[in-house]
Amino acid sequence: MNKSRFKPRPLGAILLLFLALSSLAQETQLPFVFEPDVKIAMRDGTRLAANIFRPRGEGRFPVILTRTPYGKPGEKGGEARRYTAAGYVMVVQDCRGRGKSEGVWDPFRYDAGDGYDTQEWVGRQPWCNGSIGTAGGSYLGWAQWATAPKHSGYLKTMVPTVPFGNSYDLAYNGGAFQLALLMGWGAGVGGVTLAPDKIQEALRYLPLRAFGDQFEKKVPYLNEWVAHRAYDDYWKARGMDYRCADVAVPVLNIGGWYDIFSKATLDLVTQVRATSLDRKVRRNQFAIIGPWTHHVGPEKVGELDFGPDAALKAGEKQFEWFEYWLKDRETGVQDWPAYYLFIMGENRWRGENEWPLKRTRFTSYYIHSAGRAASLKGDGAMGTTEPADEAPDPFTYDGNNPVPSVGGNNLIGALAGPQDQSRVEEREDVLVYTTPALAEDLEVTGPVKLILWAASSARDTDFTGKLVDVHPDGKAYNLCDGIVRAQYRNGMEKPALLEPGEATRLEVDLWVTSNVFRRGHRIRLEVSSSNFPRFDRNSNSGKPFGTDTELLPARQTVFHDRNRPSHLVLPIIPR
């Protein structure tokens, strides 16, 4: 034997061989085929990166598509093991300008077109059977809705979780700017990292039109969101443009009563059910709404425990949905109620067929006082009896000392969910109106509205409302709330400044809830002029939005008399 043939290999060559064999062994161990960072060309030539997870073996399969700005899963795959084992391909793509995708990151700007182009590319691949379902939550849910009206022939169904449909509604609510959500989230995904105390400081920055300039890393789109105050072409390019009638696929929306998109989650389903041009599509829009914040599924939310029934396994519902719509397997989906609602207070699920419920009795609860309703120590009351001649309630709103956001539909900058409002109700700039203890259970399920007759010393100002469930131990837990910017009281397209001192009718949308006020509980309404940092602080100057560098105080007056009966409109459900 010629021993010269067995010369030792260089260490580098051995290492390369070892790595190659390790990689091959790891690939063999994966239960699916993993293709990382596959580049998909958009119509303008920009290439977006996607990780693709395919079942082993030959075949054509339905596809679950997710598009994300938050980073796609690697070879461990997240849900890929489950779905590939069940005979699906999973495609997870980085949004434009994020992760390994090319292009410039500009939130909302490109996702409708990029989503459609991606669906068309996926549908043409040899491993796709021509059927795509989309999934994902929050921005990932919006990315689904933004694409829906574009009608890719490959898109068969969607499961958006905690979604919204139009980014303009994300920015402006009742005329006020959703400050913490837009600026806090927008700065974070723009590459700005701040400690919690620095976030609070940053949210106080003025003028708002230059908000994105305060950071070492400039974030120009933050300024653009303020500059585009009206619903213009800028916003039309950043959403589905309210085209619910053009949605042509079955949808399962999943959300929470305390989520920042609670109202949108219900509205999207309801609008498609009412307007879609396809009868089958109208019948196959579904919503599941639990007692959750932006995090779907837990029993404990905020300061309340809603019991084991609240811990819905949303992933199981999604899987059953896809099995039916993408594989035609009977999973009971067609027996689901159109609206599967968690009734807080009773802490149980109930199916309904419409929203609002047909049996709703919209009932007015009028506010009363002798002119001293400020704070919990005041004399504010509420009931179904209309007011007579009663003294109005005054308070001073100072934007330099705003009412803090404590609980509610928050995501960034404040606690979310049900939180005790006692600290808020101690303030002299919060009017508090409370019913007597209830003699029997009372269910409130549906949209909640506040009709407020008010005057201000300012040309423009805000008024807020909050519905609260007061427990027998005195703890007061928020249910839903809202705001109106006075100059937009007639709609966003018709701004009109106030006449100082003149009483004006204002309508405040308090969004939605479902809660049983139990016997012995009391119903409470809080009225003020700020909810910060959830909403921006009104400067009270009446100057163009975003230009103010100082905040002026305003003297507010809330009326409740025979001719100006301020009242809360509650959707009472007969029991």
**What does the alpha-carbon distance between residue 428 and residue 526 come to, in Å, rounded to a whole number?**
12
Q: Is the whole model's pTM more than 0.85, yes or no?
A: yes
Three-state SS at 197 = helix
Please list the active-site residues: 138, 259, 294
DSSP-assigned letter for residue 435:
P
| Beta-carbon-side half-sphere exposure of residue 453 (alpha carbons within 13 Å) | 19
Position of tokens 């109202």?
Answer: 263
Please work out, in degrees rounded to the nearest 5, the angle formed at the alpha carbon of residue 559 by the alpha carbons of 556 and 564.
Answer: 140
pLDDT in tens, 523-538: 999 999 999 999 999 9
Q: How far apart are the first and last CA of the chain?
A: 96
Is it the case that residue 16 has pLDDT exceeding 80? Answer: no
The pLDDT score that the predictor gives to residue 76 is 81
**What does the alpha-carbon distance between residue 202 and residue 496 come to, in Å, rounded to a whole number?**
30
pLDDT in tens, 131-187: 999 999 999 999 999 999 999 999 999 999 999 999 999 999 999 999 999 999 999
The pLDDT score that the predictor gives to residue 28 is 53
Using alpha carbons, select from 445, 489, 485, 446 the residue that is nearest to residue 462. Answer: 485
- Which residues are CB-neighbours of 94 under 8 A, at least 6 positions away? 48, 49, 50, 68, 69, 71, 72, 100, 101
Is it the case that residue 3 has pLDDT exceeding 70? Answer: no
Three-state SS at 123 = helix
List C-alpha distances in Å: 284 to 414, 422, 548: 36, 43, 47
**What does the alpha-carbon distance between residue 240 and residue 228 come to, in Å, rounded to a whole number?**
17
Q: Are 339 and 355 spatial neighbours (Cβ–Cβ below 8 Å)?
A: yes
Beta strands 381-383; 442-456: pairing state: unpaired
Is it the case that residue 197 has pLDDT exceeding 90? Answer: no
Give mean pLDDT, residues 466-476: 98
User: Cα torsion for 108, 112, 118, 122, to the nearest 10°?
Assistant: 130
Using alpha carbons, select from 289, 293, 294 the residue that is nearest to residue 303. Answer: 293
Give mean pLDDT, residues 402-416: 96
The interaxial angle of helices 139-147 and 111-123, nearest 10 deg, is: 70
The pLDDT score that the predictor gives to residue 144 is 98
CATH of 361-573, one of 2.60.120.260, 1.10.8.60, 1.10.3210.10, 3.50.50.60: 2.60.120.260
pLDDT in tens, 383-395: 999 999 999 999 9
pLDDT in tens, 440-450: 999 999 999 99
CATH number at 30-164+242-352: 3.40.50.1820
Average pLDDT, the chain: 94
User: What ranges in 211-296 are assigned the alpha helix state H?
Assistant: 220-227, 233-236, 262-275, 279-283
Q: Region of 321 please: left (phi>0), alpha (psi -120 to 50) or beta.
A: alpha
Give residue limits of the domains in the chain: 30-164+242-352, 170-234, 361-573
The pLDDT score that the predictor gives to residue 563 is 97
pLDDT in tens, 25-75: 444 578 999 999 999 999 999 999 999 999 998 999 999 999 999 999 998
User: What ranges in 276-380 are assigned the alpha helix state H?
Assistant: 279-283, 314-327
The pLDDT score that the predictor gives to residue 20 is 45
Is it the case that residue 491 has pLDDT exceeding 50? Answer: yes
Give mean pLDDT, residues 463-484: 98
